[in-house]
Structure 1
Amino acid sequence: MDYLITSLGFLFGSILLHALVTISRSFSKNKKSKKLPNPPGPTPLPIIGHLHLLGEHYHKSLADLAKTYGPIMTLKLGFLNYVAITSPAMAKQVLQKKDLEFSGKWVAKALHAHDQYKYSVVMLPVEARWRSLRRSMNSAIFSGARLDVTEHVRENTIQELLDYCKSYSLRNEAVDLSVAAFMTTLNSLTSAIFSKNVMDPNLESSIRDMRDVMWNIAIEAGAPNLADYFHFIKFDIQGVTRRLTNHFSRVLELIIDPIDERIQQRDSKGGIEKKNKYNDALDLLLSIIDENPQDLDRTHMERLFLDLFIAGSDTTSSTLEWAMAELMKNPETMKLAKEELARVVGKGKPIKERDVDNLPYLQCVLKETLRLHPPVPTLIPRLLKERDVELCGYTIPKGSKVIVNVWGISHDPNVWKDPLAFKPERFQESDLEVRGLDFELLPFGSGRRICPGLPFARRLLPVAIGSMINSFDWELEDGMKPEELDMEVKVGLTLKKAQALRAVPKPMS
């Protein structure tokens, strides 16, 4: 009996000692590895979190909140954890220094339309398929060598733009510059890809219709969706996915028919000789499919074009419209840009891509336009997928969606002097570029997820803007004064001018 009592006492003592040691070690370990705090943020409301704090112009709401809570802050949108970044230094950490950790992309429920999230190079994880798609896209469309080959395509579409504007000039009528910019941008893409224009300048109603489809895609993809914020909502209760499915189908119609036609040509008798006849992106990508189907298949190619047409036509055409609006709102800036063009190129002449290096003020106009009107104001949200990450003295929890508010950065008075003013001169003594290496100016993002269409936009936009202002004098419709021009913004996934810019192209004086 005494032995049993002694044994039980020994066992109990051992258990107690083990528990004390374990607790002590755990306390010591926790003390040493104590997590850094999460970023600060406003106190969330039950269930909805901070949804009530984000207005229609969410990029502005985020910038205003950053004034109180700092350049890195936590927001709860429903059940989702967001981290908003609003400083160049922290943007550099997310997009460059820790790019791989933050390279995941959060898939909004809207992008389940047509299962686009499974194929989109914008949404795919940074893995083998994503790499092969980016490689194929760059080699066939956006490499320097391919852009050199397709320079004549952009020249032709810009000449079509000038002819389109001239037809309005002869009638002394106003051009809808949102239509003109959209037509030029989309035709520049489709001519390089398919060797054909899909927008006919003589069918303005069809151009407007497709422009509206593209814009509605941006609206639906960027609009608040309850199914994103509350995971228990399994249905498309707002109809977002249904509407996007219809819009995607419309754009895919532009894509599938030219592909079918080309494949039939290649497979017809004598098709071997017809391969690479066009030397365009479609021929190059079809050859990749034939030779390396593990790198690319038809479905991924179609969806790659879908990405390009939606993102490229909307963002690039919107930037062109904003640039023309800012120039017309600021006559002195327009005068300086026209004087440079007359001096370097010659008054009344369309400009060539090789002229752009000799037009520094025109380049400043484009940079300032992109600073004031970044096409995607908060970039596409990043997803921290694998683990918690330390960032600038804080812990970013696994599963967080990280937003880089490039609009907030480009409008921050601590970063930019007089940030609300359109002043291209600010770039005359600056080395800042839009290539993703200067984090004060990130209209196309940075890192491995940088917008792949950046080289295309940098070639098309200055030539289009320069040619338009060097070929015509422009007057606002109905005698409107520059200071009366409406510069309000319509917000979706991208930022668009709320009221389309309408102006009369006049013969050069």
Structure 2
Amino acid sequence: MQMPMDTLKLSSFFLSFSVSLTLPLIIVLLTCLCFFKGKAKAKLLPGPRGLPVLGSLLDLASNPHFSLYALSKCYGGLMYLKLGTIPTIIASSQEAATAILKTFDSDFSNRPQTGSAAVDILIYNRSDIAWSPQWPFLRKLCIFHLLTPKCMDKWQEFREEEMALLLTSIFKQRASAVNVGDFVNVFTCNVIGQMTLRMRLFHENNADAEHFRELMNDFLRAAARIRIGDFIPFLERIGLGGSLDEMKSLNKRLDQFLMRKIEEKKRMPLSSEDDGNKDFLQILYQLKSNSASEGEQLSESNIKAILLDMMAAGTDTATRTVEWAMSELIRHPHLMNKVRSEVDAVVGMEERVRESHLPQMKYLEAVVTETLRLHPPTPLMLPHASPDSSREVMGHFIPTNTHVMVNVWAVARDPNVWEKPLEFDPDRFVDNPVHLDGRDFRIIPFGAGRRRCPGYKLGLRMIHFALASFVHAFDWSLPPGEEPQDLDMNEKYELSIHRNVPLNLFAIPRLPTHLYNSSH
């Protein structure tokens, strides 16, 4: 019996429709199969589950670098966690840091453009070297005009004059304990002030000195706070960790200070028109006056943000490193004696330390390197942004829209790399010196790759010079009743690692008295 023509046509239609539907479906299924097979090979990163809404925020505590280090012991050198609504990857081992900052450096070189009100408000809407989308241009500008070896050598005489003035100030206060960090900070701030503005930020009868110190301390604390609104936007009104109004008020005070210094500079007699004699601010305004420089526009906000970078990060990191180095030498008197013997052998007792002496001080260099290993000035690198498409790193997927951070503090304590990683032992570097320029991923106190700190060479010069000068010029001791082994070495996180308790020491002069006269 034959089927009716209409029924035959209908059957043919459904057959052709099913074939046309099945082929795309097969393609989709095969694609999904390939995707999930790939995902089986490159797994999602391990990490703590966290709490609803908060994620792992409560795990961070007051010293987030230490908290993240503790978590990495459970979840590995590369782990994933949610900080509120922000997906975050933490690299805590040499292998993980190498992958992020070397193997995939170009993929992870940008900064997240959201997630920090402090950056938006305090740093002129992300106008500085660290956060601006113009960062390659601003970085190149600063290195070329301020941070080349030739530029740094130009200011050597100023650094030596500042150190002479500092030793004189300590000599005058030898009857009482001095705050080591405060004195080093005067030196670093005046060096940066001379290089950027050709003026000393701290000097006698300077009403701005304490105001400046207060501003910088407030800035560093505000930038380091964990603000609930940054991680959970709908809780912004709570203001936990600092309100937006507080940061706007601080930004206003910072801006007034910077503008006052800029105006003071404009009223000073102009230096020679030769670029070699211009300070950095003059150079910046000269570049700004051009309609464009190398295809990039330099704004007033860029100039103020760069000055803020130099005054805050450029001074605080060197200050804290010298303070930690002195703390460790006080705790280990036999190491203090080794450093002093070397410095005395190089310099003698009839002159002050000069920068030209420093290359001969190899044990001092080992002490500084070990200090930077145990007490890196920036324990957590500023966050990097994951690329627009996911990447496979160390066999794991790194999702898009993820913040990526390197825990420098944890990397330098990696037990798979360091023998007795928690001990202060400069001798480990005497016969095996390491590069601090980001090539050796066992220790990266100044970062690595495209985002390495552009001013690390200047920072190292100031650290070595200050430490050598202090050890050479004075015998240092704790106040009566305090023992070296009992010295409080607890940390306080403020972008750089501060001592929880300031280091107060007595300074006993050990050089001829005339060397403490800054006119010599």
TM-score of the two chains, using structure 1 as the length reference: 0.92
Q: Does 1:119 pair with 2:118?
A: no
**Structure 1 residues 202 and 25: alpha-carbon distance in aligned structure 2, compared to 1, 3 A threshold:** same
- Report the Cα offset of residue 297 of structure 1: 2.8
Q: Does 1:155 pair with 2:160?
A: yes
**Structure 1 residues 464 and 70: alpha-carbon distance in aligned structure 2, compared to 1, 3 A threshold:** same
Counterpart of 2:517?
none
Q: Percent identity?
A: 28
The one-letter code matched in structure 2 to 1:304 is I
- Select which of 229, 244, 247 maps to 2:247: 244
Q: Deviations over 1:416-455 (max 9, x none)?
A: 1111111111111213121111111011111111112201
DSSP-derived class of the 1:474 partner: strand
- Report the Cα offset of residue 411 of structure 1: 1.7
- Select which of 414, 417, 424 maps to 2:416: 414
Q: Does 1:166 pair with 2:168?
A: no
Counterpart of 1:49?
55
| Counterpart mapping for 1:65-80 below 5 A | 65-80=71-86
Counterpart of 1:28?
30
Give the count of matched residue pairs: 499
Q: Does 1:361 pair with 2:363?
A: yes
DSSP-derived class of the 1:390 partner: strand
- Asked if the contact 1:372/1:410 (under 8 Å) is kept, the reply is yes
**Structure 1 residues 116 and 46: alpha-carbon distance in aligned structure 2, compared to 1, 3 A threshold:** same
Counterpart of 1:298?
300
Counterpart of 2:20?
18
Counterpart of 1:146?
151
- Report the Cα offset of residue 278 of structure 1: 4.6
- Select which of 308, 311, 319 maps to 1:309: 311
Counterpart of 1:136?
141
The one-letter code matched in structure 2 to 1:246 is S
Structure 2's unaligned 5+ residue stretches are 512-520
What CA distance in whole angstroms lies between the structure 1 residues aligned with 2:5 and 2:221? Answer: 80
- Report the Cα offset of residue 377 of structure 1: 0.7
What CA distance in whole angstroms lies between the structure 2 residues aligned with 1:226 and 1:435? Answer: 35
Q: Deviations over 1:320-340 (max 9, x none)?
A: 111111111111110000000
What CA distance in whole angstroms lies between the structure 1 residues aligned with 2:16 and 2:479? Answer: 91
User: Which range moves more in the overlay, 491-500 or 328-337?
Assistant: 491-500
**Structure 1 residues 135 and 418: alpha-carbon distance in aligned structure 2, compared to 1, 3 A threshold:** same
| Counterpart mapping for 1:422-501 below 5 A | 422-501=424-503
- Report the Cα offset of residue 233 of structure 1: 4.1
What CA distance in whole angstroms lies between the structure 2 residues aligned with 1:343 and 1:176? Answer: 28
**Structure 1 residues 5 and 215: alpha-carbon distance in aligned structure 2, compared to 1, 3 A threshold:** farther
The CA RMSD measured in Å over matched residues stands at: 2.3
- Asked if the contact 1:276/1:283 (under 8 Å) is kept, the reply is no
The one-letter code matched in structure 2 to 1:196 is M
- Report the Cα offset of residue 487 of structure 1: 1.0
The one-letter code matched in structure 2 to 1:70 is G
DSSP-derived class of the 2:401 partner: coil
Q: Does 1:39 pair with 2:8?
A: no
**Structure 1 residues 457 and 358: alpha-carbon distance in aligned structure 2, compared to 1, 3 A threshold:** same
Counterpart of 2:515?
none
DSSP-derived class of the 1:99 partner: coil
Counterpart of 2:278?
279
**Structure 1 residues 156 and 343: alpha-carbon distance in aligned structure 2, compared to 1, 3 A threshold:** same
**Structure 1 residues 451 and 240: alpha-carbon distance in aligned structure 2, compared to 1, 3 A threshold:** farther
User: Which range moves more in the overlay, 473-482 or 497-506?
Assistant: 473-482
- Asked if the contact 1:54/1:61 (under 8 Å) is kept, the reply is yes
- Report the Cα offset of residue 116 of structure 1: 2.4
- Asked if the contact 1:348/1:470 (under 8 Å) is kept, the reply is no
Q: Does 1:195 pair with 2:194?
A: no
User: Which range moves more in the overlay, 54-63 or 28-37?
Assistant: 28-37
- Report the Cα offset of residue 386 of structure 1: 1.6
The one-letter code matched in structure 2 to 1:422 is F
- Asked if the contact 1:187/1:197 (under 8 Å) is kept, the reply is yes
- Report the Cα offset of residue 7 of structure 1: 3.5
What CA distance in whole angstroms lies between the structure 2 residues aligned with 1:417 and 1:115? Answer: 40
DSSP-derived class of the 1:45 partner: coil
What CA distance in whole angstroms lies between the structure 2 residues aligned with 1:351 and 1:19? Answer: 84
**Structure 1 residues 58 and 265: alpha-carbon distance in aligned structure 2, compared to 1, 3 A threshold:** closer
